[in-house]
Amino acid sequence: MVCFCPFSGENSYITLFMSQVAYINARIQEARSDSPLYGLQPVEDPSDRLIEVNLAALKWNIQQRRFGMIDEDCERLHAMSVELLELLKTNMPEKTGQASGWKIEKAHSILHKVYIICIYNMVYNTRYNMVYNTTYTRYNIEI
């Protein structure tokens, strides 16, 4: 027989209105000495640092897609690349469970973005659909 108590337990009405972090902290606070939760530090919401990383990624993407970038823009982009990489290391240190998980080529390739822009002028010149567009256009002209 399943007993449903509206004021206690994880499926009660109270927990429906309670956030997960608040629920964990409440359980830690009310834990007795024989409980595994006794003496644990209260947990914190990681949303702020995760939003910081995601916003940095969004800003970096907007910056590297700008038309007609000049020296100051490239310097800013490189500073943002360094900042994004540092944020990834500090705010998401384990990546998806690996120690020093950000030592990968794709993460560090954002540091070479300014170099690529200096050589190829802008990001759109190295985009995948640019190749197809030019090839197709040339093919049509030759016919």
Interface residues with another protein (CB under 8 A) are 10-11, 15, 17, 19-24, 27, 35-37, 40, 43-47, 50-51, 53-55, 57-58, 60-61, 64-65, 88, 92, 94-97, 104, 106-107, 109-110, 112-113, 116, 119-120, 123, 126-128, 139, 142-143
Q: How far is the CB of 70 from another protein (least distance, A)?
A: 20
The residue among 19 and 134 lying less far from another protein, judged by its C-beta, is 19
- Of 49, 47, 50, 45, whose CA–CA distance to 24 is shortest? 45
Q: Mark 36-72 as b/e (b = at least 16 C-beta within 10 Å).
A: eeeeeeeeeeeeeeeeeeeebeeebeebbeeeebeee
Q: How far is the CB of 93 from another protein (least distance, A)?
A: 10
The residue among 44 and 83 lying less far from another protein, judged by its C-beta, is 44
The residue among 45 and 75 lying less far from another protein, judged by its C-beta, is 45
Are 88 and 107 in contact, with CB atoms under 8 Å apart?
yes
Q: How far is the CB of 69 from another protein (least distance, A)?
A: 14
Cα 108 → chain centroid: 15
Which tokens belong to 12?
């009660």
Q: Token match 């822009």: residue?
A: 117
* 80: number of Cβ within 10 Å: 20
Q: How far is the CB of 13 from another protein (least distance, A)?
A: 10
The residue among 23 and 76 lying less far from another protein, judged by its C-beta, is 23
